[in-house]
Amino acid sequence: MENIVSLCKRRGFIYQGSEIYGGLSGTFDYGPLGVALKNNIKNLWWKMFVDGREDMYGVDAAIIMNPKVWQASGHLSAGFSDPLVECGKCKKRFRADQLEDVSICPDCGGKLGIERRFNLMFKTNVGATEDESSVSYLRPETAQGMFVNFKNIIDSFHPKLPFGIAQIGKAFRNEIAPRDFLFRSREFEQMEIEYFIRGSDWKEEFEIWRKHMLEWINLIGLNKKNIHELEVPDGDRAHYSKRTIDFEYDFPFGKKELYGLAYRTDFDLSNHSRESSAALEYYDEETKEKFTPHVIEPTWGLDRTILAVLCDAYVEDEMGGEMRTYLKFSPRVAPVKAAVFPLLKNKPELVEKARGVYNELKREIGAVIFDDNGNIGKRYRRQDEIGTPYCITIDFDTLGDDTVTVRDRDTGEQERIKVSGIASFLSERIS
């Protein structure tokens, strides 16, 4: 894990938040390669689950909502809190459920205080006054923004059941002890769907979405051997769930939850309907029935997805008698699809030709970089380390026959390809 974190910092994937001021625990900044990786994953998800379907409606709901939303959803109750203990000596706070001994401080050996519940929501004030009437919260999940827009989608688009509302967005939780790099942070991003169905169809729809989630895991290139399905037992499920499956991943720090699939029944729409006095029902024009739909909720943590992709892709091997580190990204998610090199940077004719090839690929492919820094071996190693699937070298033969050398990241094998065919060669392999 330390090697992965170091690579992310060194190569511009992920930085500690506010680093020049000593950082802020549980916050991270995405660098140029990190944000490219993130956007590739988000775009693939949106294409698969929104643009690629007829029954999905995308939204981007506000982060700060009327606090009554969180009252209705149950987030202001004890159900959305963690057990907190504080050391009487060093004053540090810990999650009680993560300690082997809840009486002794793991840092200084002091005595820990009585366990109490700690609500995870960030509280803020809206407007010019700071009293109880202005209190609101940063959203701790994206789901409620979709539930409160259920009526708007019905009124605007008149969808037929089943249909879904999808969203990618930030959420915030004031974690007592953020840890394990991106895995548990205070600011994170979710990709989430609320899929509205008839209650009688929930078992069938649940299984359909379970398969969709496995298809997604395959699409982004995660090794299925590292994925495990956990049926969450009674007592461990969220208060709104009648059935939940966690998709766990073998992270370097242990098997942990990556995604979740929950059957939320009609809990949310019924609660919001009662608390807001709005009729959050569905009218079936064919059967003339009016009822409250039930919900299947597949949810994907975007930051956890990025962490899993990085862990899965990280490889240390030997090539050409030398040790190398590389990221074996699926070309679909790789932040850089190809790098273009002139064999020698001090030969103007090679540089000019390489620039021409680069400019053309930049227009066609987009995620292409130009690299002439150092010898060719160092350039290969640098591109391997950031996960670039293909390196294209313009050499003296290029000037004569208009072919280039294309090197494969994983095998190191090279082949000659006509300049005119490079764009189609890459397009076939990165889609």
Look at residue 321 and tell me if it is in a domain: no
The CATH number assigned to the domain holding 29 equals: 3.30.930.10
Contacts of 303 (CB under 8 A, 6+ apart): 28, 182, 183, 185, 188, 189
- Asked if residue 80 has pLDDT above 80, the reply is no
Per-residue pLDDT tens digits for 374-405: 999 999 999 999 999 999 999 999 999 999 99
Here the tokens at position 20 are 């020049």
Closest CA to 55 of 202, 157, 201: 157
- Is residue 113 domain-resident? no
**CA-wise closest residue to 357 among 339, 375, 379, 332:** 339
Structure tokens that stand for 28 in this block: 């991270």
Is the model more confident about 240 or about 167? 167
Neighbours of 416 (CB within 10 A): 12
Distance CA 290, CA 125 (A): 39
Tokens, residue 226: 């590292």
Pair 16, 150 in one domain: yes
Residue 78, pLDDT > 70, answer no
Residues 360, 303 within the same domain: no
**Total of domains in the chain:** 2
- The reply to whether 329 falls in a domain is no
Cα dist. 328→221, 225, 358, 389, 398 in Å? 9, 16, 23, 8, 28
State mean pLDDT over 86-105: 92
244/300 same-domain check: yes
- pLDDT 10s digits, 401-427: 999 999 999 999 999 999 999 999 999
Phi/psi at 341 (5° precision): -120, 140
Whether 88 contacts 139, CB under 8 Å: no
Whether 261 is in a domain gets the answer yes
Average pLDDT over residues 208-220: 98
Q: What confidence tier does 338 reach under pLDDT thresholds 50, 70, 90?
A: very high
Q: Is residue 187 part of a domain?
A: yes
Q: The tokens of 236 are what?
A: 């461990």
Residues 165 and 264 in one domain: yes
Give the chain's mean pLDDT: 95
Structural domain boundaries, residue 357: 336-430
Q: How far is CA 346 from CA 342, 349, 372, in A?
A: 9, 9, 10
One domain for residues 177 and 290: yes
Q: Is there a domain that residue 154 lies in?
A: yes
**pLDDT-based confidence at residue 257 (cuts at 50, 70, 90):** very high
pLDDT single digits (tens) 152-211: 999 999 999 999 999 999 999 999 989 999 999 999 999 999 999 999 999 999 999 999
**What number is the average pLDDT over the span 56-74?**
96
Whether the CB-CB separation of 109 and 122 falls below 8 Å is answered with no
Which tokens in the block code for residue 82?
């963690």
Q: Give me the mean pLDDT over the 332-349 stretch.
A: 97
Same domain, 244 and 366: no
What distance in Å separates the CA atoms of residue 129 and residue 82, rounded to the nearest whole number? 30
Residue 318 lies in a domain: no
* pLDDT band at 79; cut points 50, 70, 90: low
**pTM listed for this prediction:** 0.94
pLDDT per residue over 2-45, tens digit each?
Answer: 999 999 999 999 999 999 999 999 999 999 999 999 999 999 99
Pairing of strands 227-231, 187-197: unpaired
Tens digits of per-residue pLDDT, 263-302? 999 999 999 999 999 999 999 999 999 999 999 999 999 9
Is residue 110 assigned to a domain? no
- Which pLDDT score, from 0 to 100, does residue 25 have? 93
